[in-house]
Chain A
Amino acid sequence: MNTLSLLVSALSQGMIYAPMALGVFVAFRILNTPDLTIDGSFVAGMCVCAVVAIAGHPYAALACGLLAGALAGLVTGLLQTKLEINPILSGILTMTGLYTVNFMLLGGQSNLYLQRTELNSAGTETQVASETLYKSFRSFMAALTGDRKFNSNLSALIVTALIVVVTVILLAVFFRTRTGIAIRATGDNEEMVRSSSINADRSRVLGIMISNALVAFSGALLCEQQRYADLNFGSGMLVVGLASVIIGQVFFGNRGVTLGIISAVAGSLVYRVILQVAYKVDMPSYAVKLLSAIIVVIALTIPRLRRLAAQRRADREEETV
């Protein structure tokens, strides 16, 4: 593959994972709460999507995946607010419970391909690939351009980018509505929200639901693009999302909610390009998670290192005086 097609493939992956980065952004940056449900809701989105897509409804599958995430978020939110369980533990509990649910959705196996067995005219069993968003969009692009071999990564990139742009606009608008700023303020100063006669618990639950819905939507998109759902795909997803959010912050800084939303998407794209480069230099695929963890650690350490450097400089100046 040449460099351009590698870039297209990286960007299309980046777009598919962008809603996940947005979900992590909502949880960590807006609600200011570490939410580990994300690992589970990503897979839940995948599994629900797979089941519905196999039943022959590729578009409803995406919506159902999204709803599954919202539901997972609702559970975590209620654990946090009604039962007052520590936020991190609430997330872990939901994630753990989700494993069973996801396993059941996949019919007791660890992965599920988007295809079904049909009898052909000769009476023999054949595997028929299920319809997906990506499949139909690719044939649409092929018809449009007259190129029967239209690059599947490029068509995936285009359609996902359209979806992500709509998502970004919707989110940016939402976080300026009354409900939206209540959620933002809940992450910033919950006491102030309560004193403004707003049910902060409800804002928090809604925020967690939105976050997990985005994450699960990302899982659903990935499921349709790669044509299978995998039970173990979610582990470490949170760190991947965090890496994206932090990388985005490097480029855009920490200013305002709209810019933050855009930066999370940009971070997801850059992150996938970094990974693609790493693969290019023969990094084995299992090294991805270690790389993500290292990126997050480095990014989180930079402010501290800067502070230390500034301190040392100040000390040195004092000595010379």
Chain B
Amino acid sequence: MKGLKLIGMKKTFERGTPNEKVALNGVDLEVAGGDFITVLGSNGAGKSTLFNAILGKFRLDRGKIWLDGEDITRQKDYQRALNIGCLYQNPLRGTAPNMTIEENLALAYTRKASRSFFAVNRRDSAYFRELLKELDLGLEDRLKTRMGLLSGGQRQAASLLMATIAEPKLLLLDEHTAALDPATAEKVLALTNTIVSKRGLTCLMITHNMQSALAMGNRTIVMDSGRIVLDVSGQARESMTVSGLLDLFRERSGRELDNDRMLLR
């Protein structure tokens, strides 16, 4: 049973206080192995909370998470990370600034690397250089450079590599290009596409760009108030336009799809 299966996920934060917030209100989702799903939704719709739940950043009130036929609901976050890679909006979150590019990659690779005594060794470094070359950012000659000296875009590209280097079963991308300048964002998105399709990764990507949400991947879901309200794929998705999606959302949830950063075109 390849893929991700989410069953009846519920989470309320600060229950019983004035700040009570129902973040996930019964999320069910079946993701086939190799699916690339784009995730849309208004502010506070529960997109990032959904990701954090899958990553194990908190315990669910209710519900189950299955990954490749294994129940991971009760696993700790670092245990799940063995098979789940994740990228955040902030490029600083995925890398250790005071360590070299090589050491960062070596650490990420620890999950699947042979148990060599030294973390950085010649064989792995040759492999890292090859991977970095594919990024086409000139990083392959800067293995000994401290991560903190790279630009945001370079760090995000390196984080993408680190998230996928150990061949995870699932890749979660939480607006990972939102903090980058348009040209770099484009490049990182293209890289994402290449890596995901080349490795046949199962992937969920949160985005605020409706156009790329429909253009990338093979399925799009839209969240609202802690639920999935729209789920389009296949033929319906191919003929879907941005305005068509907006109309459909209005029909389902009775309001506008609104996000302060939402790009409509």
* Contact stretch, chosen from B40-48, B96-104, B183-191: B96-104
Interface size class of B (residues with CB under 8 A): 20 to 34
Main secondary structure, interface of B, reads loop
Q: Is the beta-carbon distance between A194 and B81 smaller than 8 angstroms? A: yes
B119 within 8 A of A: yes
A180 to B106, CA, bound (A): 12
The 8 A CB mask of B60-103 against A (1 = contact, 0 = none) is: 00000000000000000111111001100000111111110001
B149: which A residues are within 8 A, CB to CB? none
User: Are the CB atoms of B95 and A195 closer together than 8 Å?
Assistant: no
For window 152-202 of chain B, which residues contact chain A by CB distance below 8 Å? Answer: 162-163, 166
- The answer on a CB contact under 8 Å between B163 and A185 is no
Measured CB to CB, the nearest residue on chain A to B81 is A197
B116 at the interface (CB under 8 A from A): yes
A119 CB to closest chain B CB (Å) equals 54
How many A-B residue pairs have C-beta atoms within 8 angstroms? Tell me.
Answer: 80
One of B86, B98, B99, B117 near A195 (C-beta < 8 A)? B86
User: Would you call A181 and B78 a contact (CB within 8 A)?
Assistant: no
List the A side residues contacting B110 at CB < 8 Å: 178, 182, 196-198
Whether A46 is near chain B, meaning CB under 8 Å from some CB there, is: no
Any chain B CB within 8 A of the CB of A200?
yes
Interface residues of A in 163-210 (CB under 8 A from B): 176-178, 180-182, 184-185, 188-189, 191-200
A125 to B29, CA, bound (A): 84
Q: Tell whether B118 is near chain A: CB-to-CB under 8 Å.
A: yes
- Does B115 touch A at the CB level, under 8 Å? yes
B23 at interface, CB cutoff 8 A = no
B222 in contact (CB, < 8 A): no
Q: Is the CB of B107 within 8 A of A198?
A: yes
Q: Is the CB of B116 within 8 A of A192?
A: no
Q: Contact between B111 and A181 (Cβ–Cβ < 8 Å)?
A: no
The answer to whether A196 and B107 have CB atoms under 8 Å apart is: yes
Q: Is A196 touching B162 in the complex (CB atoms < 8 A)?
A: yes
List, in ascending order, chain B residues with CB within 8 A of A178's CB: 106, 110, 115-119
CB distance A180 to B119 under 8 Å?
Answer: yes
B119 near A189 (CB under 8 angstroms)? Answer: no
Chain B CB within 10 Å, residue with most, of A189, A197, A198 = A197
Minimum distance in angstroms from B110 CB to a CB of chain A:
6
Task: Give min CB distance, A190 to chain B, whole Å.
Answer: 9
Report the Cα distance A188→B166, complex, angstroms: 21
Instruction: Decide: B96 and A194 in contact? CB cutoff 8 A.
Output: no
A200 to chain B, nearest CB (A): 7
Decide yes or no: A176 and B79 within 8 Å by CB, A181-B103, A195-B86 being known contacts.
no
Minimum-distance CB pairs A-B, first 6 = A188-B96, A197-B81, A197-B82, A189-B96, A181-B119, A194-B78
Footprint of A on B, CB under 8 Å? 77-82, 85-86, 92-99, 103-104, 106-108, 110-111, 115-120, 162-163, 166
Other A-B contacts than A181-B119, A196-B111, 9 sampled, CB-CB below 8 A, are A177-B117, A182-B107, A185-B96, A185-B99, A185-B104, A193-B78, A193-B96, A195-B94, A197-B79
Question: Can you give 7 contacting A-B residue pairs, CB < 8 Å?
Answer: A181-B107, A184-B96, A192-B95, A194-B78, A195-B94, A197-B80, A197-B82
